[in-house]
Amino acid sequence: MQFGILINEGPYNHQASDSAYLFARTAIEKGHQVPRIFFYHDGVNNSTRMAEPPQDDRNITQRWSKLAEEHGIDLVVCVAAALRRGIKDELLAPGFRISGLGQLVEMGIQYDRLVTFGD
Amino acid sequence: MSDMDMEDDGSGVVKKFMFLNRKAPHGTVYALEGLEVVLITAAFDQDVSLVFTDDGVYQLMKGIDTKGIEVKDFSKTYRALEGYDIEKLYVDRASMDARGLTEDDLIVDVTVMSDDEMKNLMAEQDVVISF
Amino acid sequence: MLHIVNKSASERSSLDSCLKLASKGSAVLLIEDAVYAATKGNAAAAKIQAAQADLKIYALGPDLAARGMAGRTLDGVNVVDYGGFVDLVAEHSNCQSWL
């Protein structure tokens, strides 16, 4: 089954991106596909490679990049939400790209399920 | 958003999308950014239902004036939804009653639903997105 | 339909709204801060118990454990891990997160 995931909150402040990560990783382990994850609202803050959490904390952005690289996940950051918050192409961590809201709507149309994580 | 009418994912699939608005405007960004998703979804020729429940009904208040807080007044966009072929606007009766509101207080025409009607509407959706 | 609730019932109305509009036979999965509602002695426990007549209630085990609430869930609440979360999404034709 194909799952689309929508993440509406930034890392660290809310548990949303941790929950979404564990859901995505587990779905893949169980043989499902997660072709795309869409980052909206403050969720766009998951994408910046400038984040440097303390050594003893998880690195949420790097975790997304690694999962994307290993499983071919398309990490899409909403352009309007990103520009509002100062997220630009040159700041993106590996695996992320900036695109339009149409990419979110496509997930709803094309995939079997759309699961939202937010506040 | 000028190219909105050209959007097409190429599949010809039409799904039922429900957008469930549960938050008041301005205190957080969800109502404004949620509305942007609604407009794009309609441009993909999907079957869109827009539901306002809980504090979400406050998004539709007549007489909103945001000059004093210096933020965009997006409430007028609700009146433009018809132009995007979004005509299914629903509010739930209990949420209106709990806030002392009637349909006369709202900026657009809506269908007022009971809990049971809302349950049925929700159950028949393919995709539900909550803002 | 699968309903997902993630906020404490002491802080937000999302659990109430979910229970009000969830159709009979639906599943409700409590995650993150919502798991407290499914624990013994919580002020929301009565709502969960009343809802169990019509709805299947699940709580995410890792979120219970992270909050010191493992083993405190109400009778009849099904504790699932992330694998169970994925299965619930797959088994239901649609899902709704009560944000």
> For residue C53, what is the domain's CATH number?
3.40.1260.10
Give the domain range for residue C56: 2-98
Whether residue B3 has pLDDT greater than 90 = no
Whether residue B2 has pLDDT greater than 60 = no
Mean of pLDDT values over A40-69: 97
CATH class of B15-130: alpha beta
Cα distances (angstroms) measured from residue C47 to each of C28, C41, C42, C58: 13, 12, 10, 14
Q: Number of structural domains, chain C? A: 1
> For residue A8, what is the domain's CATH number?
3.40.1260.10
Put the strands of the sheet holding B111-113 in their side by side order.
B111-113, B88-92, B47-52, B16-21, B127-130
Spatial distance between the Cα atoms of A48 and A50, rounded to a whole number of angstroms: 5
10-residue mean pLDDT profile of chain C (99 residues): values are 97 96 97 98 97 98 98 97 98 97
Looking at beta carbons, which residues of chain C come within 8 Å of B120? 23
pLDDT number for residue B6: 54
| Distance from the C1 Cα atom to the nearest Cα atom in chain B, whole angstroms | 7
Spatial distance between the Cα atoms of B12 and B47, rounded to a whole number of angstroms: 12
- A-B Cβ pairs (cutoff 8 Å, strict): 52
Give the domain range for residue A101: 2-117
Chain A residue at shortest CA distance from C34: A119
Binding partners of A (≥3 Cβ pairs within 8 A): B, C
Tokens of A60: 């949420």
pLDDT number for residue A89: 97
Q: Number of structural domains, chain A? A: 1
